[in-house]
Structure 1
């Protein structure tokens, strides 16, 4: 599906009916990664309308010349919210850069956001980021991936099994050639949001113990901004946590949705 927001055609996928849940992917992929992560969670949970946009410069959403920072991207995301949800209350889930944008959404629309879930969120002050260290490797990638894809897989995943390889092939690899790296470069020149203030609603913060991209220690500081936050550090999980710890992801997202629903 596609909707024009301030002259920018924003592509998104949509599943289900009910309370809107906006799912924001990270940098360098597209909506398919969040679809792969979250749709199994909602398989037995009716009553939610999941909206998965391609963020600018990724998937099928272009980077307009006027998009010069994360605040501009956030404005586009809020325009999408207005287009698909109107004045309905909605929940928002974000992974990595999408998690940072999700914080901006909650800061700008605290009364409308019913819940906030952050998965390996990018933050202003990443610290104590560990070196990339593979925890388990049993996947044979030689015949399954191109040389470039092999490098991406090995650098992204700390659990490298046939199952995570298949998830990479289905939900990550197809997006890699669609990235507008020049456009993203313009956006990330001013990547800090102007407002990521506190949010009082049900919150979930998931981090990977072996996340070599953003780490896990810096995200602990977010707990002070979110008084109803559950914070979890998952072992055997890097920045690809949604693919590496699918069971725990489903359980913790499910518990968060329970809190969102009763608010």
Structure 2
């Protein structure tokens, strides 16, 4: 479906009925990655309407020329939340850059967000990023992007990469992402911390953004749970699906209102 927000037609894939769950993907991919990773956990609850948008400049969501900063993208996502949530607070999940936007959405509209789940969250001030290390596999499978992204490099992981990650590369509007990336830090929202139930998940071997900054977030959210998973990198949602499913299930119980 397409949802019109200002000058932007946001392409979304939707499953189910009930309370809205908005799931935001990271940079350089599209909705297919987070749909593949989170749908197995979310689809277990028959009362959830799962919405997977393509962020502006990726997938089938065109970023207009007027979109020139992360704040502009955030405005579109807040408008999308208004369109899909109705009168009931929504649940919000983000992976990587999607988690960066999700944090800002919860900070600006805390009453609209019933729960916040941040997986391998991008944050300003990333620190203590480990060197990339392969824990399973020869390190020779796939292309360079796969080998840099995954720490578990098995034929199964390569198949997931080729099906859910790699196809999005041809749809990326690089000029738009570069334009937005010149002003990628969001304006601080002010106000107090988001007080709803929060799930923080990080990969111990995440060589893109590390796990230390995610641990720091524990202090920012008064009702948060933190899991740092071993044998997982930035591709944690692919590499540790069973653990992620259990953590999401627990978070959904805490967010039930």
TM-score range, shorter chain: over 0.9
In structure 2, what is the equivalent of residue 178 of structure 1? 171
1:234 paired to 2:229:
yes
Aligned residues of 1:209 and 1:236 also touching (Cα < 8 A): yes
1:80 corresponds to which residue?
80
Q: Where do 1:171-250 residues align within 5 Å?
A: 171-195=164-188, 198-250=193-245
Where does residue 92 of structure 2 map in the other structure?
Answer: 92
Q: Give CA-to-partner distance per residue, 1:174-201, whole Å, 9 cap, x none.
A: 1111111111011111111113562100
How is 1:156-175 mapped onto 2 (pairs within 5 angstroms)? 156-175=149-168
Cα deviations across residues 30-60 of structure 1 (Å, max 9, x unaligned)? 0001100111112322110001000011000
- Partner-residue secondary structure (3-state), 2:188: coil
RMSD: 1.3
Runs of 5+ in structure 1 lacking a partner? none
Structure 1 match to 2:127: 127
The answer as to whether partners of 1:206 and 1:232 remain within 8 angstroms in 2 is yes
Alignment check: 8 A CA contact 2:139 2:147 kept:
no
TM-score of the superposed pair, with normalisation by structure 2: 0.96
Runs of 4 or more off by more than 6 Å in structure 1?
none
- Cα offset, 1:108, TM superposition: 1.0
What is the distance in 2 between the residues matched to 1:27 and 1:253? 22
- Note the residue ranges of structure 2 that are not aligned, 5 or more in a row: none
Which residue of the other structure, out of 235, 244, 252, is the alignment partner of 2:247? 252
Q: What is the aligned partner in structure 1 of residue 2 from structure 2?
A: 2
